[in-house]
Structure 1
Amino acid sequence: MSITISDAMNLQTLKDFKLVAGEWGLNKKIDQMGILDHEIIDKIDNIEVVFGQGDFVLTNFTAARNDVNLLIQSIKELIKARVSGLAIKNIFYSELPSEIIEYANEKSFPIFIFDNKVYFEDIITDIIDAIRDNDNYELLETKVDIIIKNNISRTMIGELALEINSSFRENFIVVYCKEKKYVNSTNIIRLLERYKRRRDKSIYNSVFKYRTGILIIFSYENMNEKKVVENIKKLMTDIGIDNSQYIIGISNNHFCLNELARGINEGLYAVNASEISDGSTTFYKDIGIYKVIMPHVNEVWMNEFYNEIITPLKNYDIKYNTQILTTAIKYIENDGNVKRTSQELFQHDNTIRYRINKIKEILDMEDLDGSFYEQLSIAIKIYKIFNKV
C-alpha cells in the first residue's frame, strides 16, 4: 500500500508545502509515516534502525534548532536510510543551508518546508487515508480486470459487481473518461479526492481510477434514458471532467448487473473509437463496425487479415517512396469519395484514382470492387486501432 510523494502533495493538508530540494524524487513511494524527534536525533547514527525505504518523515528539528551541523547530519542520515522524503515544520528553519539542498538534489531526495499552523496529526491522517484509498483503487482495478478479462459466469460477474458497490441498482450505464495527456495519476487522484468530499454524491454510483482514467458506474432505477444522460453529465461536472482534458466513452444502458463486463467494455471501446476520430464524447451505440472489430482485434485471425492488406502497402511505400497507405486511409475516411480525398491530400482527382487502382493491383483485387472497399475499410480501421490515428 503506497502513494507517490507527488500524489500526496495534492492532498488538502499538504497543498501549501514548499519544495526546497529533490524535485526528481517526487515519484518515490510513501508506504508509511514517521516523526523525527529528540530521542531519534540523539541517536542519529542508528537512524536506519528507526526509518527505512518508503518512510515519509516529519520533523520540526527542535533538537537541532541551535546546531546547523546536526541538522545537516540528520538529513544525510535519512538519505542514507533511503527514506522517501522529509517535511520540516518552519518553527526553527524556514530555509536550509545550500550544502544540504545541493546534496538532496544530487540524491533526488525531496525536502519540504511547511507552515507551523499545520499539525503533524492532520498530515499523517491525510496521507494514511490516501494510501488506504489508493489501495482500494488498486483493488477495484483488479476486480474490473477480473470481470472483463476472464471468462467467468454471469452470476460471478454480478457478485463481483456487488463487491465493488453493494448499493448498485440493476440498471446501469458505464462511462470511461481517459485523460488525454496522461503523465501520472496526479490529476485523476485530485479529482477523485475532490469528488469524495462532496456530500451530495450518490451511494448508487461508483467512481474510481482505472488505468489512465476514471471509470464511472452509474446505477439507477425508474429513470428514462434522457434523464440518465442528464444525470451522468451532471455527475461528470461534479467530478470536474470535461472534454478539454478527457476522452469520454459511454456504454449502452444495461438492465442487469450480470452484464457489467459488457458495459465496461463498451465504455472502453467507445473511448478507443473516440481516440481514433475526434476525441469527443462518444457513445458506444455510435461506433459502427468498431463494435465487431475491437473485441477481436488481438486475435491471430484479425492480425493475419491486417497483415495481408496493410503490410504490402507499407512495403510498396518504402520501396518506391510513395504515399499509397496515406491515400488508402484518407480514401476510407472519406467513404470512398475521390473528390474529398483529393482535396484533403492536395492532389488531382486522377492522381487519387491512379493510386486506388495501384492499391487494387498491389493487393491483387483489380476485379473485386465491392469486396475491395470492404476489406480495405476493415484493414484501415484495424490499422487505426493499432496506431491510434
Structure 2
Amino acid sequence: MGTSPFTVERLLQLPVFRQAKVMAGQEGLSKEIYYTDCMETPDLTGFLRPNELILTTGYSFRHEPMMLCRLLDEMHRVGGSAVGIKARRFIQEVPPEALQKSNLYGIPLFDIPLEMPFIDMTHAVMDQILDRQAFMLREVREVNQQFTNLVLNRRTTELVVLVGHLLACEAAVLNQEEEIEQCTSSFSKAEIAEKRAIQIGSRITGYLAISRELKERDRFEQMCLDHAVTVLAIEFTIRQSQQLQREREQESFLVELFSGSSHQEELLRYRAKQLGISLRQFHYAIVMRVDRKSGLDNEQLTLLSNQLLHKVNKPGLHAHKGVVINDSLIVLCSSTYEEADKQREEAEALIAELTTPAEDLPSDLQLFAGIGRVRQLLSDVPFSCQEAQKAISIGQQTLPKQRIVHFHEILVEDLLLDSAGHPVLSMLTSMLIEPIVTYDREYGTELMATLSAFLRSGGNTKRVAEEMFIHRNSVLYRLERIGGILQTDLNDPEVRFRLDVAMRVWKTQEVDILSIL
C-alpha cells in the first residue's frame, strides 16, 4: 500500500467495489477511511465516528427513505467519510434530497452491487485499514527512534529540524517563558499555529510550537508530534537534573567561599568558571534580609528566602550568584567598578528586581541590604562578606530608615564595636546620652531623636525641622532644653564631637556582635 492514505477513491478501486457506482458527493473521494461499519438500525446518533465508512442495505429506512438524509446530516456532523448503500434492495430510488446533501457535504454516496456480501466488503476494507495502520506504526516507530537518539545525544536543534521536515512547516522549542531555544531557519513566533506543552509530571517545562495547524485526518503527523513532545520531555528532564546538580555545586562553592575555608585563588577561579559564575575585575558581597517587622514566621522566612534565591540565580544574571545561610541571602557580585556609589547602584537594581510584584512574593516585601567593600581576589571575598554583615546589622540600628547600607557608612560604628565596654565610652554615654533618655522617658518628649538628627545634619536646624516635620523654632527650643539638661554648649565643636561618639556608641549597644563575627 506504501505511503498512500486509504481514501474513498482507493476503496472504489478494490475488486469487491469495482461495480459500485458513485451517485453523488464526488468531491469527497479524497477523504481517508479509518473505520467501517454496517448499519441497519434506525437510531443514527451516538454511533458514528470521524472518517468512518458506513455500509447499509437501507432496511431501517425502507418505509422512510428520507432517513437517508438524516444519516448524511449525522455523518457530516462527526466528519464521516462515505456511505455505501444497496439501493435496489429495499428502496428503489434514492431521494433527490439525499443526493443534494451528499454533494453539499462532500460525502460520497455510492450504490453497492446486490450480489456482493457485506462480509467480503468489510474484510477487504479492514485489510486495507490494518495494512495502513501497520505501515504508519512502522514509520512512527522509526521516527520515534530518531527523535530519541537525537535527544540522548543532546542534538535538540536537529530534532526540531526533523519535526519541521516531517510536518512540512516551521518548528521551534520554547522554554517556560515561551522564549525560543531552538528553531528552524524561518520560524517566527507570529506564525505559530499550534503549540504543545512539554510536561514533566504535572509541571509544564516548555513548548513545541509549529507554524501549521494539524487536522484530525493528519494522523501520521499527529503521532509524530506526540512522540516529539514525549522525547522532548526527556530532554527537559535531563536539563533539569543537570541544573539541579549545578545549583548544588554552586551552593557548595559559595558556602565555602563566604566562610573562607578555601584560600587558593587559582582553584577558586577555576571552580567559579566551571560553574558558570562570571568573574570580572572586582568582587564583593551583598547580604540581604527580610524586614523583621514583616510578621513572617521562620518557615515562611525560609520559603521566602529560597524564592528570592531562585530569582537571583535565574539564567541571565551571571554577575550575581547567591546562597541562603541562616535566613540571610548572601550574593556574590562581580563588577568592573570599585566605587561605593556604583556598588550601591548595582545593589539597588538587584533589590528592585527581587522586590518586583509577583504572585509568589508578598506585595509589601521589604528588604534590608548590607554591602561589603570590593576585592580583587576571590580569596578575599570572605572579608567583604563580613563587612556586608556588619553593614546590615549595624545599619538596622543606626540608620533604620536606610534600606541599603554600605560598609563605608558604618566605619566609625565598627571601630567603636571593637572597643565595646571601654570605660571612656561608657562614661561618655553615661554623661551625655542617658540623661536625655531618662528625660524623654519621664516626660514623653523626643529630645533623643532631635539630638540624633542634629548631629547627623552637622548642626543644620532647618534640615532637622524638615526631617522631623516640626517648626524650626521647636527644634531650637528642644536643643536649648538638651543643653540645659547636659549643662553644656551644643555649638562647641568639641562637645558636638563627644556627643556624636556617645550617640554612635549608644545606638550600637543592641547590635549582636556574635552574629556578625
The TM-score normalised by the length of structure 1 is 0.48
- Select the structure with the greater relative contact order (CA < 8 A; seq sep ≥ 6): 1
Query: Rg larger in 1 or in 2?
Result: 2
